[in-house]
Structure 1
Amino acid sequence: MSTVIEQAVQARLVASAPRMETVPATLRYDRKDPFAVRIDFPAQATLEGTDITWRFGRELLAAGIEESAGVGDVRVAPYGYGRTVLEFHAQEGVALVHVRTSELRRFLRRAEGIVPGGHEHLLLDLDQDLTELLRDAR
């Protein structure tokens, strides 16, 4: 069984101009990081002209497609017409993107197939993580 899934999605970048630009993005889930999901945006989709990756909780994404969730750098909320809005806060500003809710649900089902919700902690190697942390502290 694969331990990583990737899913290409079309995200609509919300700007102050009336039209929304569609940008490619890739959702990623890795069994080695069982609590998190990532969304990668290519350089052409960013103001800085560099690839950008946002990492946030899988639970946040799952909760946010049902009702508004998140209070930090990443917020997720339903946005009518079968879309979900992902809101990314950075020092440079805020980016809003709309993604089809059906694509997010499909991605979450695939991630659930790799690591069922509530079982993420079983994949953590706390002894190894603590050993690495203490080794780096010397």
Structure 2
Amino acid sequence: MNPTDRTERPYLDLTVQLVLGAAAAVPVGVRLGYDPADPLAVRLDFHGASEAVPPWFLSRDQLRGGLRTPTGEGNVRVCPPCACHGPGTVRIVLRGREGAAVLYVPAAPLRGWLAGTFAAVPAGTEGTLIHWDEVVTELLRHG
């Protein structure tokens, strides 16, 4: 596949568990999206969310790393499957101004989908797809 083409599966729709407390979680639909035009990021949208719930942009490398070892600092952390939280579940912790959310994400479909994004845009080649002049222009406009 040409790296400038979209992945075979540019989106992954999943039902995840949104943790509400020590003993409570609710199922929530999410969509993960990957666009080679923004090759370092994965977009996370909540199905049916109002416009007040903006998408989250996660590091593709961080998600892949989080399948094996805890990754991230600050607003996004990814923790791999483990015996205490479930051998088939990746935990994604999102922290924002309004609070934090913990998502339990099925590991197998996430792993397979991420592999497809790396097949489309191999690690280390992302910089060749970024339009640096546009990035610099946008930064200078807001800087």
Using the size of structure 2 for normalisation, the TM-score is 0.82
Verify: 1:121 aligned to 2:132, yes or no: no
Q: Distance in 2 between matches of 1:71 and 1:129?
A: 24
Q: Which runs of structure 2 are paired with 1:41-80 in the superposition (5 Å)? A: 41-43=46-48, 50-80=52-82
Unaligned 5+ runs, structure 1: none
SS class of match (2:79): strand
Report what 2:29 is aligned to. 24
Quote the sequence identity (%): 32
SS class of match (2:55): strand
Using the size of structure 1 for normalisation, the TM-score is 0.85
Q: Alpha-carbon deviations, 1:60-112, whole Å to 9, x = none?
A: 10111111000011100013221100000011111000001111101111111
Q: Distance in 2 between matches of 1:27 and 1:57?
A: 12
Q: Give the number of the structure whose residues are more often helix, by fraction.
A: 1
Unaligned 5+ runs, structure 2: none
Q: Distance in 1 between matches of 2:122 and 2:115?
A: 9
Report what 2:115 is aligned to. 109
Letter in 2 for 1:62: R
Q: Distance in 2 between matches of 1:23 and 1:38?
A: 16
Across the aligned residues of Structure 1 and Structure 2, the Cα RMSD in angstroms comes to 2.2
Deviating above 6 A after TM superposition, structure 1's stretches of 4 or more consecutive aligned residues are none
Q: RCO higher in 1 or 2 (8 Å CA, sep ≥ 6)?
A: 2
